[in-house]
Structure 1
Protein backbone atom coordinates (compact mmCIF):
# COMPACT_ATOMS: atom_id res chain seq x y z
CA UNK A 1 0.00 0.00 0.00
CA UNK A 2 1.22 3.48 -0.80
CA UNK A 3 2.50 5.46 2.14
CA UNK A 4 1.75 8.81 0.57
CA UNK A 5 0.62 11.18 3.32
CA UNK A 6 -2.87 12.66 3.41
CA UNK A 7 -2.81 16.29 2.34
CA UNK A 8 -5.33 19.07 2.89
CA UNK A 9 -5.17 21.88 0.32
CA UNK A 10 -7.79 23.79 2.29
CA UNK A 11 -5.28 24.77 4.94
CA UNK A 12 -4.53 27.48 2.35
CA UNK A 13 -6.84 30.48 3.08
CA UNK A 14 -7.46 31.30 -0.58
CA UNK A 15 -8.47 27.73 -1.43
CA UNK A 16 -10.76 27.73 1.59
CA UNK A 17 -12.40 30.97 0.42
CA UNK A 18 -13.21 29.47 -2.98
CA UNK A 19 -14.44 26.10 -1.69
CA UNK A 20 -18.13 27.02 -1.36
CA UNK A 21 -18.31 28.56 -4.83
CA UNK A 22 -16.90 25.40 -6.40
CA UNK A 23 -19.04 23.02 -4.34
CA UNK A 24 -22.52 24.55 -4.25
CA UNK A 25 -25.68 22.50 -4.75
CA UNK A 26 -24.27 19.25 -3.35
CA UNK A 27 -26.72 16.34 -3.26
CA UNK A 28 -25.01 14.84 -0.22
CA UNK A 29 -26.17 17.70 2.02
CA UNK A 30 -29.84 16.80 1.61
CA UNK A 31 -29.08 13.08 2.01
CA UNK A 32 -27.43 13.60 5.40
CA UNK A 33 -30.08 16.08 6.56
CA UNK A 34 -32.77 13.53 5.72
CA UNK A 35 -30.83 10.78 7.50
CA UNK A 36 -30.49 12.89 10.66
CA UNK A 37 -34.23 13.63 10.68
CA UNK A 38 -35.11 9.96 10.20
CA UNK A 39 -32.76 8.77 12.93
CA UNK A 40 -33.98 11.42 15.37
CA UNK A 41 -37.62 10.60 14.67
CA UNK A 42 -36.95 6.87 15.12
CA UNK A 43 -35.15 7.37 18.44
CA UNK A 44 -36.86 6.66 21.73
CA UNK A 45 -37.57 10.33 22.32
CA UNK A 46 -39.27 10.77 18.95
CA UNK A 47 -39.42 13.96 16.92
CA UNK A 48 -38.03 16.98 18.72
CA UNK A 49 -35.88 14.96 21.12
CA UNK A 50 -32.26 16.09 21.65
CA UNK A 51 -30.08 14.75 18.85
CA UNK A 52 -26.36 15.41 18.38
CA UNK A 53 -24.56 15.25 15.04
CA UNK A 54 -20.77 15.13 14.79
CA UNK A 55 -19.53 16.48 11.44
CA UNK A 56 -16.01 15.08 10.92
CA UNK A 57 -14.00 17.11 8.41
CA UNK A 58 -16.78 19.70 8.45
CA UNK A 59 -14.98 22.23 6.24
CA UNK A 60 -16.92 25.47 5.90
CA UNK A 61 -19.89 23.66 7.46
CA UNK A 62 -22.65 24.15 4.90
CA UNK A 63 -24.16 20.91 6.20
CA UNK A 64 -23.59 21.75 9.86
CA UNK A 65 -25.47 25.05 9.67
CA UNK A 66 -28.38 23.33 7.92
CA UNK A 67 -28.42 20.59 10.55
CA UNK A 68 -28.45 23.20 13.33
CA UNK A 69 -31.35 24.95 11.59
CA UNK A 70 -33.16 21.60 11.62
CA UNK A 71 -32.94 21.63 15.41
CA UNK A 72 -29.98 19.32 15.96
CA UNK A 73 -27.03 19.97 18.24
CA UNK A 74 -24.03 20.05 15.89
CA UNK A 75 -20.31 19.59 16.62
CA UNK A 76 -18.01 20.34 13.68
CA UNK A 77 -14.37 19.21 13.67
CA UNK A 78 -11.84 20.00 10.95
CA UNK A 79 -8.02 20.04 10.85
CA UNK A 80 -7.89 23.17 8.64
CA UNK A 81 -8.11 26.43 10.59
CA UNK A 82 -8.71 28.33 7.33
CA UNK A 83 -11.93 26.39 6.75
CA UNK A 84 -13.13 26.91 10.32
CA UNK A 85 -12.52 30.64 10.07
CA UNK A 86 -15.01 30.76 7.22
CA UNK A 87 -17.42 28.44 9.03
CA UNK A 88 -17.49 30.61 12.16
CA UNK A 89 -18.55 33.68 10.19
CA UNK A 90 -21.21 31.91 8.10
CA UNK A 91 -24.78 33.03 8.93
CA UNK A 92 -25.99 30.53 11.50
CA UNK A 93 -22.44 29.44 12.30
CA UNK A 94 -22.86 30.52 15.92
CA UNK A 95 -25.23 27.58 16.42
CA UNK A 96 -22.45 25.06 15.81
CA UNK A 97 -19.70 24.00 18.23
CA UNK A 98 -16.32 24.22 16.44
CA UNK A 99 -13.29 22.05 17.19
CA UNK A 100 -9.95 22.29 15.42
CA UNK A 101 -8.78 18.72 14.88
CA UNK A 102 -10.25 15.38 13.92
CA UNK A 103 -12.53 12.76 15.44
CA UNK A 104 -10.06 12.13 18.28
CA UNK A 105 -10.83 15.64 19.58
CA UNK A 106 -14.60 15.06 19.73
CA UNK A 107 -16.35 14.45 23.07
CA UNK A 108 -16.69 10.79 23.98
CA UNK A 109 -20.06 9.08 23.68
CA UNK A 110 -22.11 12.19 22.87
CA UNK A 111 -23.01 11.90 19.17
CA UNK A 112 -26.11 10.15 17.88
CA UNK A 113 -24.88 10.47 14.30
CA UNK A 114 -21.38 11.07 12.93
CA UNK A 115 -20.92 12.03 9.27
CA UNK A 116 -18.03 12.54 6.88
CA UNK A 117 -19.17 14.43 3.79
CA UNK A 118 -17.60 15.91 0.67
CA UNK A 119 -15.57 12.69 0.23
CA UNK A 120 -13.54 13.61 3.32
CA UNK A 121 -13.05 9.88 3.98
CA UNK A 122 -10.89 9.65 0.87
CA UNK A 123 -8.43 12.22 2.20
CA UNK A 124 -7.26 9.85 4.94
CA UNK A 125 -4.86 7.78 2.85
CA UNK A 126 -2.60 5.72 5.18
CA UNK A 127 -4.43 2.60 6.34
CA UNK A 128 -3.45 3.03 9.99
CA UNK A 129 -4.67 6.65 10.08
CA UNK A 130 -7.98 5.68 8.44
CA UNK A 131 -8.61 2.84 10.86
CA UNK A 132 -7.72 5.07 13.81
CA UNK A 133 -10.24 7.65 12.61
CA UNK A 134 -12.96 5.00 12.44
CA UNK A 135 -12.18 3.91 16.00
CA UNK A 136 -12.28 7.54 17.14
CA UNK A 137 -15.67 7.99 15.46
CA UNK A 138 -16.90 4.85 17.22
CA UNK A 139 -15.73 6.26 20.57
CA UNK A 140 -17.51 9.58 19.90
CA UNK A 141 -20.88 7.89 19.29
CA UNK A 142 -23.41 6.82 21.87
CA UNK A 143 -24.32 3.12 21.90
CA UNK A 144 -26.72 2.69 18.99
CA UNK A 145 -25.28 5.72 17.18
CA UNK A 146 -24.63 5.77 13.44
CA UNK A 147 -21.61 6.65 11.30
CA UNK A 148 -22.36 7.65 7.69
CA UNK A 149 -19.96 8.61 4.94
CA UNK A 150 -19.36 8.28 1.21
CA UNK A 151 -16.43 7.30 -0.99
CA UNK A 152 -16.24 7.27 -4.78
CA UNK A 153 -16.61 3.79 -6.28
CA UNK A 154 -13.19 2.90 -7.75
CA UNK A 155 -14.84 0.79 -10.46
CA UNK A 156 -15.92 4.01 -12.15
CA UNK A 157 -12.29 5.25 -12.33
CA UNK A 158 -13.28 8.87 -11.78
CA UNK A 159 -9.64 10.03 -11.78
CA UNK A 160 -9.44 9.28 -15.51
CA UNK A 161 -11.92 12.13 -16.08
CA UNK A 162 -10.05 14.60 -13.90
CA UNK A 163 -8.50 16.47 -16.80
CA UNK A 164 -8.39 20.24 -17.34
CA UNK A 165 -10.85 19.89 -20.21
CA UNK A 166 -13.49 17.90 -18.31
CA UNK A 167 -13.20 19.70 -14.94
CA UNK A 168 -13.00 23.31 -16.10
CA UNK A 169 -15.71 25.55 -14.65
CA UNK A 170 -16.40 29.23 -14.01
CA UNK A 171 -17.74 30.43 -10.66
CA UNK A 172 -18.52 33.70 -8.82
CA UNK A 173 -15.55 34.99 -6.81
CA UNK A 174 -16.15 36.10 -3.19
CA UNK A 175 -14.56 39.48 -4.01
CA UNK A 176 -16.73 39.99 -7.09
CA UNK A 177 -16.37 38.95 -10.69
CA UNK A 178 -15.60 35.36 -11.64
CA UNK A 179 -12.81 32.81 -11.51
CA UNK A 180 -12.14 29.67 -13.52
CA UNK A 181 -10.83 26.46 -12.00
CA UNK A 182 -9.79 23.01 -13.17
CA UNK A 183 -7.95 19.90 -11.97
CA UNK A 184 -4.54 18.59 -12.96
CA UNK A 185 -4.01 14.85 -12.36
CA UNK A 186 -0.42 14.23 -11.24
CA UNK A 187 -0.05 10.55 -10.25
CA UNK A 188 -2.07 7.33 -9.96
CA UNK A 189 -0.98 4.23 -8.03
CA UNK A 190 -3.15 1.15 -8.57
CA UNK A 191 -0.78 -1.32 -6.88
CA UNK A 192 -2.09 -1.12 -3.30
CA UNK A 193 -4.36 -3.73 -1.75
CA UNK A 194 -6.42 -1.08 0.06
CA UNK A 195 -7.36 0.90 -3.04
CA UNK A 196 -6.24 3.22 -5.81
CA UNK A 197 -4.26 6.26 -4.68
CA UNK A 198 -4.20 9.36 -6.85
CA UNK A 199 -2.67 12.81 -6.47
CA UNK A 200 -3.98 15.95 -8.15
CA UNK A 201 -4.02 19.69 -7.65
CA UNK A 202 -6.50 22.41 -8.39
CA UNK A 203 -5.69 25.42 -10.55
CA UNK A 204 -7.60 28.71 -10.39
CA UNK A 205 -7.43 31.59 -12.82
CA UNK A 206 -8.73 35.10 -12.29
CA UNK A 207 -8.13 38.19 -14.36
CA UNK A 208 -5.54 36.38 -16.46
CA UNK A 209 -3.48 35.17 -13.50
CA UNK A 210 -3.33 31.41 -12.79
CA UNK A 211 -2.65 29.98 -9.32
CA UNK A 212 -1.80 26.35 -8.60
CA UNK A 213 -3.03 25.01 -5.28
CA UNK A 214 -1.43 22.47 -2.98
CA UNK A 215 -1.36 18.84 -4.07
CA UNK A 216 -4.14 16.63 -2.72
CA UNK A 217 -3.91 12.85 -2.39
CA UNK A 218 -7.04 10.69 -2.30
CA UNK A 219 -7.67 6.97 -1.96
CA UNK A 220 -10.46 5.07 -3.73
CA UNK A 221 -11.22 2.11 -1.46
CA UNK A 222 -13.33 -0.76 -2.82
CA UNK A 223 -16.50 -1.74 -0.99
CA UNK A 224 -15.05 -4.88 0.57
CA UNK A 225 -12.23 -2.87 2.16
CA UNK A 226 -14.63 -0.23 3.50
CA UNK A 227 -16.88 -2.91 4.99
CA UNK A 228 -13.98 -4.75 6.61
CA UNK A 229 -12.53 -1.55 8.09
CA UNK A 230 -15.88 -0.53 9.56
CA UNK A 231 -16.40 -3.95 11.11
CA UNK A 232 -12.86 -3.99 12.48
CA UNK A 233 -13.57 -0.65 14.20
CA UNK A 234 -16.61 -2.16 15.92
CA UNK A 235 -19.42 -1.08 13.58
CA UNK A 236 -22.20 -3.23 12.17
CA UNK A 237 -22.69 -2.25 8.52
CA UNK A 238 -26.41 -1.53 8.37
CA UNK A 239 -26.87 -0.11 4.87
CA UNK A 240 -24.89 0.55 1.70
CA UNK A 241 -26.26 2.87 -1.00
CA UNK A 242 -25.05 3.64 -4.49
CA UNK A 243 -26.59 7.08 -4.97
CA UNK A 244 -28.03 10.02 -3.04
CA UNK A 245 -31.60 8.77 -3.43
CA UNK A 246 -30.65 5.71 -1.37
CA UNK A 247 -30.63 3.36 -4.36
CA UNK A 248 -28.60 0.13 -4.51
CA UNK A 249 -25.07 -0.28 -5.81
CA UNK A 250 -24.97 -1.16 -9.51
CA UNK A 251 -22.33 -1.34 -12.24
CA UNK A 252 -23.11 2.33 -12.92
CA UNK A 253 -22.71 3.37 -9.26
CA UNK A 254 -20.62 6.49 -8.71
CA UNK A 255 -20.77 6.53 -4.91
CA UNK A 256 -20.36 4.05 -2.08
CA UNK A 257 -22.43 5.42 0.81
CA UNK A 258 -22.06 3.40 4.00
CA UNK A 259 -24.03 3.51 7.23
CA UNK A 260 -22.47 1.71 10.19
CA UNK A 261 -24.12 1.29 13.58
CA UNK A 262 -22.27 1.26 16.91
CA UNK A 263 -23.85 -1.66 18.82
Structure 2
Protein backbone atom coordinates (compact mmCIF):
# COMPACT_ATOMS: atom_id res chain seq x y z
CA UNK A 1 0.00 0.00 0.00
CA UNK A 2 1.44 3.38 -0.94
CA UNK A 3 1.42 6.43 1.27
CA UNK A 4 -1.85 8.25 1.89
CA UNK A 5 -1.11 11.81 0.80
CA UNK A 6 -3.40 13.37 3.43
CA UNK A 7 -0.47 12.98 5.83
CA UNK A 8 1.57 15.61 3.95
CA UNK A 9 1.27 19.33 4.79
CA UNK A 10 1.01 20.53 1.19
CA UNK A 11 -1.95 18.25 0.44
CA UNK A 12 -3.64 19.12 3.74
CA UNK A 13 -3.29 22.84 3.03
CA UNK A 14 -4.91 22.44 -0.39
CA UNK A 15 -7.69 20.10 0.80
CA UNK A 16 -10.34 22.78 1.37
CA UNK A 17 -9.78 24.30 -2.07
CA UNK A 18 -10.28 20.91 -3.69
CA UNK A 19 -13.43 20.27 -1.67
CA UNK A 20 -15.14 23.66 -1.89
CA UNK A 21 -18.82 23.82 -2.72
CA UNK A 22 -19.71 20.67 -0.75
CA UNK A 23 -23.39 20.06 -0.13
CA UNK A 24 -22.94 17.66 2.78
CA UNK A 25 -22.08 20.30 5.40
CA UNK A 26 -25.47 21.99 5.18
CA UNK A 27 -27.19 18.62 5.58
CA UNK A 28 -25.29 17.82 8.77
CA UNK A 29 -25.75 21.32 10.18
CA UNK A 30 -29.50 21.06 9.65
CA UNK A 31 -29.55 17.62 11.22
CA UNK A 32 -27.70 18.92 14.29
CA UNK A 33 -30.27 21.70 14.62
CA UNK A 34 -33.12 19.19 14.49
CA UNK A 35 -31.79 16.63 16.96
CA UNK A 36 -30.32 19.20 19.39
CA UNK A 37 -33.61 20.97 20.08
CA UNK A 38 -34.01 21.59 23.80
CA UNK A 39 -30.43 20.55 24.65
CA UNK A 40 -28.29 23.59 25.58
CA UNK A 41 -25.20 21.40 26.08
CA UNK A 42 -25.35 19.54 22.77
CA UNK A 43 -22.05 17.92 21.78
CA UNK A 44 -20.89 16.89 18.30
CA UNK A 45 -18.19 14.35 17.50
CA UNK A 46 -16.64 14.57 14.02
CA UNK A 47 -14.93 11.27 13.10
CA UNK A 48 -12.28 11.85 10.43
CA UNK A 49 -12.65 15.61 10.85
CA UNK A 50 -9.88 16.47 8.38
CA UNK A 51 -9.17 20.19 8.26
CA UNK A 52 -11.98 20.96 10.72
CA UNK A 53 -14.17 22.99 8.39
CA UNK A 54 -17.43 21.43 9.57
CA UNK A 55 -16.34 21.29 13.19
CA UNK A 56 -15.69 25.02 13.28
CA UNK A 57 -19.10 25.70 11.74
CA UNK A 58 -20.74 23.47 14.34
CA UNK A 59 -18.90 25.26 17.15
CA UNK A 60 -20.01 28.63 15.78
CA UNK A 61 -23.60 27.35 16.00
CA UNK A 62 -23.12 26.84 19.75
CA UNK A 63 -22.33 23.14 19.99
CA UNK A 64 -19.42 21.61 21.88
CA UNK A 65 -17.28 19.98 19.20
CA UNK A 66 -14.65 17.26 19.29
CA UNK A 67 -12.87 16.31 16.08
CA UNK A 68 -10.65 13.28 15.65
CA UNK A 69 -8.37 12.50 12.71
CA UNK A 70 -5.25 10.35 12.15
CA UNK A 71 -3.46 13.04 10.12
CA UNK A 72 -1.42 15.60 12.07
CA UNK A 73 -1.11 17.66 8.91
CA UNK A 74 -4.88 17.95 8.54
CA UNK A 75 -5.28 18.76 12.24
CA UNK A 76 -2.67 21.52 11.97
CA UNK A 77 -4.97 23.19 9.44
CA UNK A 78 -7.94 22.64 11.77
CA UNK A 79 -6.18 24.13 14.80
CA UNK A 80 -5.03 27.20 12.91
CA UNK A 81 -8.18 28.04 10.98
CA UNK A 82 -10.34 30.93 12.29
CA UNK A 83 -12.47 29.52 15.09
CA UNK A 84 -10.34 26.39 15.43
CA UNK A 85 -9.59 27.12 19.06
CA UNK A 86 -13.28 26.63 19.92
CA UNK A 87 -13.03 22.88 19.22
CA UNK A 88 -11.20 19.98 20.83
CA UNK A 89 -8.96 18.20 18.33
CA UNK A 90 -7.73 14.63 18.92
CA UNK A 91 -4.93 13.10 16.88
CA UNK A 92 -5.97 9.49 16.47
CA UNK A 93 -8.98 7.32 15.82
CA UNK A 94 -12.43 6.68 17.25
CA UNK A 95 -10.97 4.49 19.99
CA UNK A 96 -9.08 7.54 21.28
CA UNK A 97 -12.32 9.40 22.04
CA UNK A 98 -13.55 9.32 25.67
CA UNK A 99 -16.73 7.51 26.67
CA UNK A 100 -20.22 9.08 26.34
CA UNK A 101 -19.05 12.52 25.19
CA UNK A 102 -21.32 13.18 22.20
CA UNK A 103 -24.98 13.59 21.33
CA UNK A 104 -24.31 13.43 17.59
CA UNK A 105 -21.43 11.72 15.79
CA UNK A 106 -20.87 12.40 12.11
CA UNK A 107 -18.62 10.90 9.46
CA UNK A 108 -18.53 13.25 6.48
CA UNK A 109 -16.48 13.27 3.29
CA UNK A 110 -17.32 9.56 2.79
CA UNK A 111 -15.07 8.65 5.72
CA UNK A 112 -17.16 5.50 6.16
CA UNK A 113 -15.70 4.14 2.92
CA UNK A 114 -12.15 4.11 4.27
CA UNK A 115 -12.87 1.20 6.64
CA UNK A 116 -12.14 -1.55 4.15
CA UNK A 117 -12.70 -4.71 6.17
CA UNK A 118 -15.77 -5.74 8.11
CA UNK A 119 -13.60 -5.94 11.22
CA UNK A 120 -12.47 -2.31 10.84
CA UNK A 121 -15.99 -1.11 10.06
CA UNK A 122 -17.57 -2.92 13.01
CA UNK A 123 -14.81 -1.58 15.26
CA UNK A 124 -15.50 2.05 14.38
CA UNK A 125 -19.25 1.57 14.80
CA UNK A 126 -18.63 0.03 18.22
CA UNK A 127 -16.28 2.81 19.29
CA UNK A 128 -18.70 5.52 18.16
CA UNK A 129 -21.52 3.77 20.05
CA UNK A 130 -19.34 3.90 23.17
CA UNK A 131 -18.65 7.61 22.64
CA UNK A 132 -22.34 8.47 22.23
CA UNK A 133 -24.62 9.27 25.11
CA UNK A 134 -27.72 7.05 25.35
CA UNK A 135 -30.17 8.41 22.80
CA UNK A 136 -27.30 9.88 20.77
CA UNK A 137 -27.22 9.93 16.98
CA UNK A 138 -24.81 8.72 14.29
CA UNK A 139 -25.01 10.09 10.75
CA UNK A 140 -22.81 9.29 7.76
CA UNK A 141 -22.88 8.78 4.02
CA UNK A 142 -21.52 6.08 1.73
CA UNK A 143 -21.69 6.20 -2.07
CA UNK A 144 -24.27 3.93 -3.66
CA UNK A 145 -22.29 1.30 -5.61
CA UNK A 146 -25.11 1.12 -8.15
CA UNK A 147 -24.08 4.58 -9.33
CA UNK A 148 -20.62 3.21 -10.28
CA UNK A 149 -18.86 6.47 -9.39
CA UNK A 150 -15.43 4.94 -9.97
CA UNK A 151 -16.06 4.83 -13.70
CA UNK A 152 -15.89 8.63 -13.75
CA UNK A 153 -12.76 8.90 -11.59
CA UNK A 154 -10.50 9.41 -14.60
CA UNK A 155 -8.71 12.56 -15.82
CA UNK A 156 -11.21 13.41 -18.56
CA UNK A 157 -14.01 13.68 -15.98
CA UNK A 158 -12.13 15.00 -12.94
CA UNK A 159 -9.58 17.58 -14.12
CA UNK A 160 -10.14 20.92 -12.39
CA UNK A 161 -8.30 24.21 -11.98
CA UNK A 162 -8.73 25.80 -8.57
CA UNK A 163 -7.33 28.74 -6.61
CA UNK A 164 -4.57 27.75 -4.19
CA UNK A 165 -4.97 29.19 -0.65
CA UNK A 166 -1.44 30.60 -0.86
CA UNK A 167 -2.03 32.22 -4.26
CA UNK A 168 -1.92 31.00 -7.81
CA UNK A 169 -3.75 28.03 -9.26
CA UNK A 170 -3.93 24.28 -8.67
CA UNK A 171 -4.59 21.73 -11.38
CA UNK A 172 -5.92 18.43 -10.04
CA UNK A 173 -7.37 15.18 -11.36
CA UNK A 174 -8.01 11.56 -10.35
CA UNK A 175 -6.45 8.46 -11.89
CA UNK A 176 -8.24 5.13 -11.43
CA UNK A 177 -5.78 2.33 -10.60
CA UNK A 178 -7.88 -0.74 -9.84
CA UNK A 179 -11.45 -1.90 -9.21
CA UNK A 180 -12.49 -5.18 -7.59
CA UNK A 181 -16.23 -5.69 -7.98
CA UNK A 182 -16.16 -9.17 -6.43
CA UNK A 183 -15.02 -8.36 -2.91
CA UNK A 184 -17.02 -10.07 -0.14
CA UNK A 185 -17.70 -6.77 1.63
CA UNK A 186 -18.37 -4.61 -1.41
CA UNK A 187 -16.69 -3.01 -4.43
CA UNK A 188 -13.11 -1.93 -3.78
CA UNK A 189 -11.76 1.03 -5.75
CA UNK A 190 -8.14 2.19 -5.69
CA UNK A 191 -7.21 5.54 -7.19
CA UNK A 192 -4.80 8.40 -6.74
CA UNK A 193 -5.19 12.14 -6.89
CA UNK A 194 -2.65 14.15 -8.88
CA UNK A 195 -2.05 17.82 -8.14
CA UNK A 196 0.11 20.36 -9.93
CA UNK A 197 0.87 23.32 -7.67
CA UNK A 198 1.33 26.98 -8.63
CA UNK A 199 5.12 26.60 -8.70
CA UNK A 200 4.80 23.73 -11.20
CA UNK A 201 5.71 20.81 -8.98
CA UNK A 202 3.49 17.74 -8.96
CA UNK A 203 2.31 15.46 -6.14
CA UNK A 204 0.31 12.26 -5.87
CA UNK A 205 2.21 9.86 -8.09
CA UNK A 206 3.58 7.93 -5.09
CA UNK A 207 0.30 7.77 -3.16
CA UNK A 208 -3.06 6.08 -3.48
CA UNK A 209 -6.22 5.40 -1.54
CA UNK A 210 -8.70 2.54 -1.56
CA UNK A 211 -12.41 2.95 -0.82
CA UNK A 212 -15.12 0.38 -0.28
CA UNK A 213 -18.64 0.69 -1.67
CA UNK A 214 -20.91 -1.35 0.62
CA UNK A 215 -24.48 -2.29 -0.19
CA UNK A 216 -27.28 -0.71 1.81
CA UNK A 217 -28.21 -4.12 3.21
CA UNK A 218 -24.70 -4.58 4.58
CA UNK A 219 -24.61 -1.09 6.07
CA UNK A 220 -27.96 -1.69 7.75
CA UNK A 221 -27.03 -5.10 9.09
CA UNK A 222 -23.73 -3.92 10.58
CA UNK A 223 -25.42 -0.95 12.25
CA UNK A 224 -28.08 -3.15 13.77
CA UNK A 225 -25.51 -5.72 14.92
CA UNK A 226 -23.62 -2.91 16.68
CA UNK A 227 -26.75 -2.00 18.62
CA UNK A 228 -28.06 0.99 16.67
CA UNK A 229 -31.61 1.61 15.58
CA UNK A 230 -31.81 2.96 12.03
CA UNK A 231 -33.97 6.08 12.02
CA UNK A 232 -33.75 7.36 8.44
CA UNK A 233 -32.06 6.72 5.11
CA UNK A 234 -31.71 9.20 2.24
CA UNK A 235 -30.37 8.98 -1.29
CA UNK A 236 -28.92 12.49 -1.51
CA UNK A 237 -28.22 15.54 0.63
CA UNK A 238 -31.55 17.08 -0.37
CA UNK A 239 -33.20 14.17 1.50
CA UNK A 240 -34.39 12.46 -1.62
CA UNK A 241 -35.18 8.73 -1.52
CA UNK A 242 -32.73 5.91 -2.00
CA UNK A 243 -33.15 4.41 -5.47
CA UNK A 244 -31.43 1.57 -7.28
CA UNK A 245 -30.75 1.33 -11.01
CA UNK A 246 -33.62 -0.17 -12.99
CA UNK A 247 -33.05 -0.20 -16.77
CA UNK A 248 -36.65 -1.23 -17.44
CA UNK A 249 -38.11 1.89 -15.82
CA UNK A 250 -35.16 4.16 -16.53
CA UNK A 251 -34.60 4.76 -12.81
CA UNK A 252 -31.05 5.75 -11.87
CA UNK A 253 -29.35 4.69 -8.68
CA UNK A 254 -29.28 7.43 -6.07
CA UNK A 255 -25.88 9.00 -5.55
CA UNK A 256 -25.63 8.24 -1.84
CA UNK A 257 -26.72 6.12 1.03
CA UNK A 258 -27.08 8.61 3.88
CA UNK A 259 -27.88 6.82 7.12
CA UNK A 260 -29.10 8.30 10.39
CA UNK A 261 -28.96 5.86 13.29
CA UNK A 262 -29.33 6.12 17.03
CA UNK A 263 -27.94 4.58 20.20
CA UNK A 264 -31.15 3.61 22.01
CA UNK A 265 -31.98 4.77 25.49
CA UNK A 266 -31.59 2.00 28.10
TM-score, with normalisation over the residues of structure 2? 0.92
Query: Does residue 68 of structure 2 align to residue 77 of structure 1?
Result: yes
Q: Which residue of 1 aligns with 2:180?
A: 189
Q: How does 1:1-263 map to 2 (within 5 A)?
A: 8-41=4-37, 46=38, 49-206=40-197, 207-213=199-205, 214-251=207-244, 252=252, 253-263=254-264
Unaligned runs of 5+ in 1: none
Deviation at 1:65, TM superposition (A): 0.3
Q: Distance in 2 between matches of 1:137 and 1:210?
A: 37
Deviation at 1:194, TM superposition (A): 1.2
Q: Distance in 1 between matches of 2:17 and 2:145?
A: 26
Alpha-carbon contact 2:117-2:185 (below 8 Å) kept: no
Post-superposition Cα deviations, 1:96-135, rounded to whole Å, max 9, x if no partner, equal: 0000111111110121000000001111112211110000
Deviation at 1:247, TM superposition (A): 1.5
TM-aligned CA distance change 1:218 to 1:77, over 3 Å: same
Root-mean-square deviation (CA, aligned residues, Å) is 1.4
Deviation at 1:138, TM superposition (A): 0.4
Deviation at 1:17, TM superposition (A): 1.1
Q: Distance in 2 between matches of 1:126 and 1:169?
A: 32
Q: Distance in 2 between matches of 1:20 and 1:227?
A: 31
3-state DSSP class of the match of 1:107? Answer: coil
TM-aligned CA distance change 1:144 to 1:26, over 3 Å: same
Unaligned runs of 5+ in 2: 245-251
Deviation at 1:6, TM superposition (A): 10
| Number of equivalenced pairs | 254
Post-superposition Cα deviations, 1:121-168, rounded to whole Å, max 9, x if no partner, equal: 111112211110000000000000010000000000000000011000
Q: Distance in 2 between matches of 1:261 and 1:188?
A: 33
TM-score, with normalisation over the residues of structure 1? 0.93
Deviation at 1:208, TM superposition (A): 4.0
Q: Distance in 2 between matches of 1:205 and 1:183?
A: 12
